[in-house]
Amino acid sequence: QNWNGVYEQRLVHFKLCPTDTCSSGCSGGADYVIDMNEYVGAYLEYKEEAEQQECERVANNCYCENANDDEACEMQCYSDAGIYDQCVEQDNQNGNNGQEDEFELQEAIECARLDVDEEAAQGYYYQNGNANNDNAQYNNYNNGQQNEQQQEMEFFVGPYCSANGKSILLGVFMDEVCSYSAPDGIYEKFHYGKSLPYSSESIIKNDCISCMEVEEEDNNNNNNN
């Protein structure tokens, strides 16, 4: 339950444009407004599929028949195509049944509970919760709690719009719908100084994106390295 019964609805405004007008005013296009989480989810799904198809295309056209090490040859083809990092990362995920030990962006866009040590969270509460210092943001939230779990500390990670409306960033929040921002530096405090991914770099790029599915090439051109 949200602390005051109200939450922010974040929306994304985008356009669908004819291919030849996307970067020049979108003449003949159409405007759409949808939920931000839905838009980011669709964007990430598209990005993953496009990168996977690109890796498969390079692998299928990588001539490694006479190579001493097929895997090394394939890695070199990825490197030559400038997509080594994304393809090797996908291979590592597939080897772990699609699970990563690191930050899960797909979960974060749904306003995911931040996994922190419970004792550390409680320690933060006792150090900052009742202090008359610069933690007005923290105190205002807790003063609004109307249930017996006021002392239970929980944080959540989710997306939000930048001040200029041109970027979508990740932030730490104090409620399960990611509408009330947590004090600055919370993530770093519980992660040994490591910054929250996409806290300063936008999840979404502002470039034109093709709506067409990437065409799969046949395997007849395996003579090209």
Q: Return the higher-pLDDT residue of 145 and 39.
A: 39
Q: What is the pTM of this model?
A: 0.72
CA distances from 91 to 87, 109, 225 (A): 6, 23, 20
Q: Return the higher-pLDDT residue of 56 and 146.
A: 56
pLDDT digits (tens, 9 = 90+) for 71-92: 889 999 999 999 988 888 766 5
pLDDT of residue 146: 44
- Write phi, then psi, for 220 (nearest 5 degrees): -85, -10
Average pLDDT along the chain = 78
Give ∠ CA 32-34-40 in degrees, rounded to 5: 115
pLDDT digits (tens, 9 = 90+) for 171-215: 999 888 898 899 888 898 888 888 999 999 999 988 888 887 656
CB of 173 closer than 8 Å to CB of 181: yes
Per-residue tokens: 220: 């007849």
pLDDT mean over 26-39: 91
pLDDT of residue 190: 86
pLDDT of residue 31: 93
Q: Return the higher-pLDDT residue of 40 and 9.
A: 40
pLDDT of residue 3: 47
pLDDT of residue 100: 44
Assign 134 a pLDDT band (cuts: 50, 70, 90).
very low
